[in-house]
Amino acid sequence: MTLRYSRWSPRDRVPEVEAHVRAHLSAVADANDDPDARADEVRISHEEEGLLVVGELDAEPDAPYLRPGFTPEQDIEANPLTVEPIGERP
């Protein structure tokens, strides 16, 4: 399977957007949601005069939030926020 992800980029921010695309695909393909684990394997190309950054990675999705049975509530309990909440939950 080939994962594909693209983002539009301002002309002066293409390297930053490329890094984002690499990190996103790496995280999706890694069992620990690690944005660096497979970043070097992501192939980057440009479409639309370089303004559309396209990344491809030959991998199966394996991020925790893509697995069967994942529930956001359990993830929140297992990985609490490290910042104070802004308001009370309803």
pLDDT digits (tens, 9 = 90+) for 11-32: 888 999 999 999 999 998 988 8
Q: Are 3 and 56 in contact (CB under 8 A)?
A: yes
Alpha-carbon span 74 to 90, nearest angstrom: 19
Q: How many CB atoms lie within 10 A of CB 21?
A: 23
Tell me how far CA of residue 69 lies from CA of 18, 26, 30, 59, 64, in angstroms.
Answer: 32, 22, 17, 21, 10
Query: What's the pTM?
Result: 0.70
pLDDT category of residue 4 using cuts at 50, 70 and 90 = very high
Q: Is 35 left (phi over 0), alpha (psi -120 to 50) or beta?
A: alpha
